[in-house]
Amino acid sequence: MLDRIREGSQSIVIKALLVLIALTFALAGIGGYITNQPEPAVAKVNGEEITRVEFDRAVENERSRQQQQLGDFYATLAADPAFNQRLRSQVLNDLVNQKVVELYARDAGLRVSDEQVKAAIRNIAAFQVAGQFDNQTYQMTLNGLGYTPDGFAELMRRDLARTQLLQAIVETQFALPTEASAVQQLLNQQRSGAYATFELANYLSTVEVTDEEIAQWYDANQSRFNVPEQVKVEFVALDADTLAESIEIDETVVREWFEQNRAGYETPDRYRFSHILIEGDDEAARAEAQEVLTKLTEGADFAELAAEYSDDIFTAETGGDLEFLEKGLMDPEFDEAAFALQEVGDISGVVSTSFGYHVIKLTDIEKGSSTSYEEVRDEIVSEMREERVKQAYYELQQKASELAFDVPDTLQAVADETGLTVRTTSWFNRNNAPTALNNPAALQQVFNQDFIAEGLNSDLIETSDTQAVIVRVLDYQAASVKPLDEVRAQVLDNVRTEKAQAAAREDADALAAALRAGETSDVQMAAIDSVDRRNTELPRAVVQSLFEQAVPSDEGVQVAVTELNSGALAVVQLTSATVGEVDEAMQAQLTDQLVNSFTQQGYGAFVEALRAEADVELLLNANTDQASQE
């Protein structure tokens, strides 16, 4: 019966619920549960497909998750094509990982009981109202998605089996108290020693560089001076948002539209029902339904009889409550009997439908309401403006495209007829294109050699849902290498720096060798007294070198040479290490962190092993839409 809910699924409430469901599930979410029709596959795992619909939905869900997490900064990231490519690749990889785990769980014979499936469905937030499972929401949502309760429950069963496997992996991980103590002792360890720095400035003034050295360095490092191919173009930019400013909506038109669509702003009376369902179409079922009706007429409690007799497992536990229903959501026979009831508390006779026999009770009536013109005027104006902008933008696209084709060797004709502005760029390459052209489709066009050779206007290039450009290449420069004369000062600086670093390293190595040999040195070393890993007063490279060295023996000396961020060199000597203290208050938290780390490592190794054994075919490369295979 629960799959017979129809028109109500198109309401705004249901559409909002669909968004909630998408956010409830990780990545693919409920998308994996509702796809019934054959769809193009983006990957195959051991012959089983991951559909394009699943992939697209997973990408959108991940974008929504990151947008919620990153806020306004997400818009900056999303404008970068490389970011979107990485996101799509990661989503595809995650879907493949989910599939190999799901198949392993199935092959391992993991099973989930009906009660577990039922409990999981009840706990899905999108099916709840005020924290409680809501049967009407559940029915209407599934029907709106085109899915039956049985089919949805079966796919939930598969997902729960996969989750069961993952829980087994998670719950086998542990960390001993001694491990947490050892980690604390390492993290809180303190070390002492000394260090000396060899600043490049002390060597640069003594360095001499010959013309031959400059030429040799330039020849060996020409890749540093590559100049990528560049273009200079003219273009016109079309932007739907700019059209919105010129769109005016007549108040008379708005009111006329409201009057013609007034029914859409009126809510009819709502009726709430409970029912008791006896499944079957034989006399025994009818007799049982009649027995229920007789007990009700004798004063029995409806909710108690629903719990005892009803075959509708989801409503039996709530007294048979179906929440508020509208006509057309249920079977015609059910609707006819239910909406014939007049007063709260009225009970129908035995009603026969395709699902069996019902006894129906009217439990509440909620009076309808209507929305005034003033309340919805701004919404209507906004929708009208949006539609007119879309139409105006479409017409502008058509007109600009035709003019660019008719007069192919200039964009001035487009500008004269449409009011758009022809903009001319300076030289740019693929990495520093103007904002309007910083789009994969636009860049592919302007750096296409055939297009460059033609020197004609491009077709309309859509760079987003509301923006497009038409471009023409004015000039082109092939990739090249800057001549030595142009970069001589830069080369000289690099050669001088490298020679200074070599001289500094020679002195640093000499000091390190002397310290290891126990010899004295004139170099002044700064003392390091009991610092920990979090020290910020010393150069970071010095602290890192100090803790990378092995603890010296009683007679040994530990010395290392490291490079600082400035390019200077430092000689770091470790003389002693003190075991860190264990903070008992941190033990529990650190143990949890270790368990989490071990779990991630274990799960990663498990999935990696499954993928190594699986036959994975990527039919759609997330970046290039090309097929590949592992």
* Size (the chain), residues: 630
Does residue 299 sit in helix, strand or coil?
A: coil
The closest alpha carbon to 459, from 393, 392, 414, belongs to 414
The pLDDT of residue 581 is above 80: yes
Give just the sign of the alpha carbon dihedral 477, 480, 486, 489: positive
Residue 130 included in any domain: yes
Residue range of the domain that includes 408: 230-249+377-481
**89/615 Cα distance (integer angstroms):** 18
The phi and psi torsions of 280 (rounded to 5 degrees) equal 120, 165
The answer, as to whether pTM is greater than 0.85, is: no
How far apart are the two ends of the chain, measured CA to CA in Å?
45
User: CB under 8 Å to 75, separation ≥6 — which residues?
Assistant: none
What's the CATH code of the domain at 115? 1.10.4030.10
Q: Are residues 435 and 465 in the same domain?
A: yes
Q: Are residues 51 and 146 in the same domain?
A: yes
What is the arithmetic mean of pLDDT over 398-423? 95
Residue 390 included in any domain: yes
Residue 606 included in any domain: no
State residue 6's pLDDT score: 34
Q: 367, 388, 412: which is the final residue of a domain?
A: 367
Residue 617 included in any domain: no
State residue 22's pLDDT score: 38
Residue 621 included in any domain: no
- Residue 359 gets the label, from left (phi > 0), alpha (psi -120 to 50) or beta, of beta
State residue 193's pLDDT score: 93
Question: pLDDT tens-digit profile of 261-303?
Answer: 888 888 888 899 999 999 988 999 999 999 999 999 999 999 9
User: Is the Cβ–Cβ distance between 180 and 477 less than 8 Å?
Assistant: no
Question: pLDDT tens-digit profile of 500-539?
Answer: 999 999 999 999 999 998 888 889 999 999 999 999 999 9
Q: How would residue 38 be classed by pLDDT, with cut points 50, 70 and 90?
A: low
Q: Are residues 395 and 455 in the same domain?
A: yes
Q: In angstroms, what CA-CA distances link 168 with 95, 121, 165, 394, 400?
A: 20, 21, 5, 56, 61
Residue 357 included in any domain: yes
Q: Are residues 123 and 75 in the same domain?
A: yes
Q: How many CA atoms lie within 13 A of 337 on its CB side?
A: 19
Averaging pLDDT over each range in 83-97, 489-503, 609-623, which range is the top one?
489-503
**292/94 Cα distance (integer angstroms):** 52
Q: 531, 560, 578: which is the final residue of a domain?
A: 578
Domain count, the chain: 5
User: Is the Cβ–Cβ distance between 546 and 190 less than 8 Å?
Assistant: no
State residue 19's pLDDT score: 36
Q: How would residue 305 be classed by pLDDT, with cut points 50, 70 and 90?
A: very high
Question: pLDDT tens-digit profile of 167-219?
Answer: 887 778 888 888 888 888 888 899 999 999 999 999 998 999 999 999 999 99
Three state DSSP letters for 7-21:
HHHHCHHHHHHHHHH
Q: Are residues 447 and 568 in the same domain?
A: no
The pLDDT of residue 366 is above 70: yes
State residue 359's pLDDT score: 94
Q: Are residues 163 and 282 in the same domain?
A: no
- Rg of the chain on CA atoms, in Å: 36
**Angle formed by the axes of helices 373-406 and 251-260, nearest 10°:** 110
Query: Tokens standing for 362?
Result: 């009217």
Residue 164 included in any domain: yes
- Provide the residue type at 570 as one letter: A
What is the arithmetic mean of pLDDT over 438-467? 92
**507/523 Cα distance (integer angstroms):** 10
Q: How would residue 54 be classed by pLDDT, with cut points 50, 70 and 90?
A: confident
Q: What is the DSSP letter of 459?
A: P
Beta strands per DSSP E along 344-496: 347-353, 356-366, 369-370, 423-424, 461-462, 467-477, 480-481
The whole-chain average pLDDT of the chain stands at 85
Q: Are residues 157 and 141 in the same domain?
A: yes
State residue 592's pLDDT score: 85
Q: Are residues 494 and 472 in the same domain?
A: no
Helix, strand, coil fractions of the chain, as percent rounded to 5: 50, 20, 30
**365/270 Cα distance (integer angstroms):** 6
The pLDDT of residue 481 is above 70: yes
**162/97 Cα distance (integer angstroms):** 11
Q: What is the DSSP letter of 435?
A: G
Question: pLDDT tens-digit profile of 461-476?
Answer: 998 888 999 999 999 9
Residue 591 included in any domain: no
Q: Are residues 244 and 381 in the same domain?
A: yes
User: Is the Cβ–Cβ distance between 278 and 360 less than 8 Å?
Assistant: no
Q: Are residues 387 and 474 in the same domain?
A: yes
State residue 590's pLDDT score: 86
What is the arithmetic mean of pLDDT over 246-275? 87
The pLDDT of residue 561 is above 90: yes
Q: Are residues 155 and 69 in the same domain?
A: yes
User: Is the Cβ–Cβ distance between 77 and 129 less than 8 Å?
Assistant: no
**264/12 Cα distance (integer angstroms):** 12
What residue has token string 């050669």?
495
- Residue 59 gets the label, from left (phi > 0), alpha (psi -120 to 50) or beta, of alpha
**310/277 Cα distance (integer angstroms):** 5
**For the chain, what percent of residues have pLDDT higher than 70?**
91
The closest alpha carbon to 34, from 51, 12, 48, 47, belongs to 51
State residue 147's pLDDT score: 61
**412/470 Cα distance (integer angstroms):** 12
Q: How would residue 621 be classed by pLDDT, with cut points 50, 70 and 90?
A: low
Q: Are residues 406 and 284 in the same domain?
A: no
Q: In angstroms, what CA-CA distances link 594 with 190, 479, 585?
A: 22, 51, 15
Burial 561-583 (b: 16+ CB within 10 A, else e): bbebeeebbbbbbbeebeebebe
